[in-house]
Chains A and B, each alone.
Chain A
């Protein structure tokens, strides 16, 4: 499993190179790998559907219980199949859709990276590994959505998706850590048996909120749904992939995965069902407010995500069975229809439903794929989504707590879905041919193979549900529900309430389809759109601009731009923090042994004091610099007196170069004006004197400790034998603690470049101003 993820990652980085050599054929070649991985997963079909679980684990940060561990059960298996299977079709589709695009290589790179990350999410056993892949999907989808990076709208949408899903991802990380504390393990396969422990833990509610924050943002649940329709700024292959099998489904996957661990409690059940049902209805009806095919589809995805959230929340056997089937059904029709919308756009130059018509005569195969997918979407017998919708209704009927509410919500949502299906897949293809910006004709095979395959599968699995019911769907539902169950699916359930609701839905949906224009233009729909689409997004905008304002405010407070304030702040903080620690944790002894101080030491001390006073009261910069130099050399003398020749040598050289440096910048410095004594100088004096006193006391305190001689003895003994050097200072620098030195010289080099840039920039600006 890990190999399959890694191989896609590896291929991703090869893609731009391949694109250079294989040109138009790259897509066919690249599609082979996801196809291969798909075949590999397909070969595991009997194993997994027998209820077996495959695990692998490679130690990563094993000390932290973080491992590259993966496991495959019914749930991750279903997702792995969808990701690689639909992924194959998407790569093919993209090769036709973006044919000749100058950044196609880059596109394949991001797409495959995204595919591998998504596969990582659904296969991860370790929660932290899952989080890493989770954030990788946010990051790579940012690249995909912002692919047309020259379009500001595209960039904005990409950033919005990244911020919303990335923030949720951070909540998920916090949730994962708390789960680790509560459940004693980070491995999902272990936690699945610890559900009761976690549900009874005091941290349960915070865990649930954090995990759901991650899932809801990712799978675009109300009120975080606004990023998803905006994400359709991405090239259509990406939208088709993000909406059908990946990205938003990651949130669904997480909730399904966590259901046996966190589910079943009242807060979980009601949060999921209510938010899910609300999202479902809002998404379904918002879809009818737009005429852009992709936008209609995007909102209908929100409807599907809401439905799935609701089903997982209900949690009873019918509901999880419905969820498993609905995931498949939705992935098929949504992937197919997005590709159709892209093809229409590609061939005619517009995606506006009002401007399209009669395309079936010009693009018969695309029309067929579209019709199949749309019939499945509308839940018409005998398509797979008919069974799924029946199951959704039965799940709603079976949800005893608030069955009536759920039934009404589900029927309302599905009416809108029927109408949407007609809008995206019937209206553009039938009726009279309309004039379009481009003359339409049938798309190349790479572009119709996807919709045709997915549409065909929707029909096939609807007619022959026994292909997957007792095997795949049962395995998936068992994984979601947390207990082994076996289902049989049938197209015909007899005349019951669910069937009645289906008929009602269909009739009402067709009605809405025919009166779509007046409904869309009506005041009710427009205010509905404002309330549920514009307002949440405004909330996002206000949050972002509020954060920027806050950042600006605190930058203005802390970043005054004056070096003297920075130094003053740093020294003051140091004095307070170190001083507090010193006085609470250690005692400062009064220095003894004054009589041992030699006369030349007194002279040196006096020199240092005099030099500092001279530097403070200097009237010209030159005097100040020279005084500081005198101070530095006196300190070097102290080093010599206490036999530290290396230090003394370094100090003297640094002092020399410092004086030269100062002399060079002297011309740029303003003349010093000795300030009269005021509050500013008083403040500086307080900071300076307290810093000096603190250092003195620190020194006294440090000397009063008996230091463990082990380290210095170790160096002294081993310096020559192990490091071939007698100068311990240098041996420590270049051998014993060479890594520290490496860090220091790196900092030095970076600082050098920084100074270079600052000087060049600043002086450059000055020159420009002078020439103006």
Chain B
């Protein structure tokens, strides 16, 4: 069942997919992508790993319980909205900083934190379901 070819390739693909997922997540504000899509691709990376090595090894690589990923995701999404409350705006108002780093203007804002929350929830959800199915079967 555990194919050597798949095992070898999946390690490379795993890293690549994770990179792509982060790339999709970061570019999401201007180009197609974002937390939801990024989270799905990130989950895909782990799914590939599970198929190649089994859930036990995948768990060791992920280090986190996928259920706690969902929790952290919700936490980040909810907390990102509170920041604007502290500055007197209403809940979930986007606040932005635009520092210039090496001549590039960066756009850093609370929606980024929010999107990261979405990323984590989506990834956590997918992995929770797949892990439990895989482990029980």
Contact = CB atoms under 8 A, between A and B. Distances in A.
B19 interface: no
B125 A748 contact: yes
Given A649-B32, A738-B81, A751-B125, A661 B107 contact: no
Interface string B12-42: 0000000000001000111111111100110
Given A741-B118, A755-B132, A749 B111 contact: no
Contacts of A734: 29, 34-35, 111, 114-115, 118
Contacts of B37: 646, 649-650, 653
A760 to B, nearest CB: 6
A275 to B, nearest CB: 51
A727 B28 CA distance: 7
A671 interface: no
Contacts of A660: 47, 51, 130
B74 interface: yes
B56 interface: no
A553 interface: no
Interface in B82-105: 91-92, 94, 96, 98
B36 A650 contact: yes
Contact of B73 (A664, A729, A735, A745): A745
Interface residues of B, number: 50
Contacts of B91: 739
Contacts of A654: 40
A733 interface: yes
Contact of A756 (B28, B71, B117, B129): B129
A725 B136 contact: no
B44 A752 contact: no
A731 B31 CA distance: 11
A756 B132 CA distance: 6
Given A742-B77, A756-B128, A735 B94 contact: yes
A742 B132 contact: no
A753 B67 contact: yes
Contact of B77 (A665, A730, A745, A756): A745
A764 to B, nearest CB: 8
Contact of A752 (B28, B96, B125): B125
A661 B44 contact: no
A721 B130 CA distance: 40
A550 B124 CA distance: 41
A756 B67 contact: yes
Contacts of A739: 81, 91-92
B52 interface: no
Contacts of B5: none
B110 to A, nearest CB: 9
The secondary-structure label for the interface of chain B is helix
A738 B134 CA distance: 33
B134 to A, nearest CB: 6
B74 to A, nearest CB: 5
Contacts of A650: 36-37, 40
A753 B47 contact: no
Given A646-B34, A734-B35, A742 B78 contact: yes
B128 to A, nearest CB: 5
Contact of A749 (B24, B30, B32, B71): B71
Interface residues of A, number: 42
Contacts of B118: 733-734, 741, 745
B34 A733 contact: yes
Scoring A665, A723, A724, A753 by chain B CB atoms within 10 A of each residue's CB, the highest score goes to A724
Contacts of A730: 28-29, 33-34, 115
Nearest to B107: A724
B4 interface: no
A657 B40 contact: yes
Given A727-B34, A730-B34, A755 B129 contact: yes
Contacts of A741: 77, 114, 118
A657 B74 contact: no
Contacts of B128: 752-753, 755-756
A645 interface: yes
B111 A752 contact: no
A383 to B, nearest CB: 61
Contacts of B70: 748-749, 752-753
A746 interface: yes
Given A748-B122, A751-B125, A760-B132, A724 B44 contact: no
A716 interface: no
Interface string A260-294: 00000000000000000000000000000000000
A524 interface: no
Contacts of B34: 646, 727, 729-730, 733-734
Interface in A703-754: 722-727, 729-731, 733-735, 738-739, 741-742, 745-746, 748-749, 751-753
A661 B129 contact: yes
Q: Looking at A645, A653, A745, which has the most chain B CB atoms within 10 Å of its CB?
A: A745
Nearest to B108: A724
Interface string A633-665: 000000000000110011001101100110011
B111 to A, nearest CB: 4
Contacts of A577: none
Contacts of B133: 661, 664-665, 759
Contacts of B81: 738-739, 742
A598 interface: no
A661 B78 CA distance: 29
8 contacts: A653-B41, A657-B43, A657-B47, A722-B94, A724-B29, A734-B114, A735-B94, A742-B92
Given A756-B128, A756-B129, 6 more contacts: A649-B24, A650-B37, A664-B130, A723-B109, A739-B81, A741-B114
User: Which 10 A-B pairs give the minimum distances between C-beta atoms?
Assistant: A725-B29, A763-B136, A653-B40, A645-B32, A752-B125, A730-B34, A749-B70, A724-B107, A745-B121, A726-B30
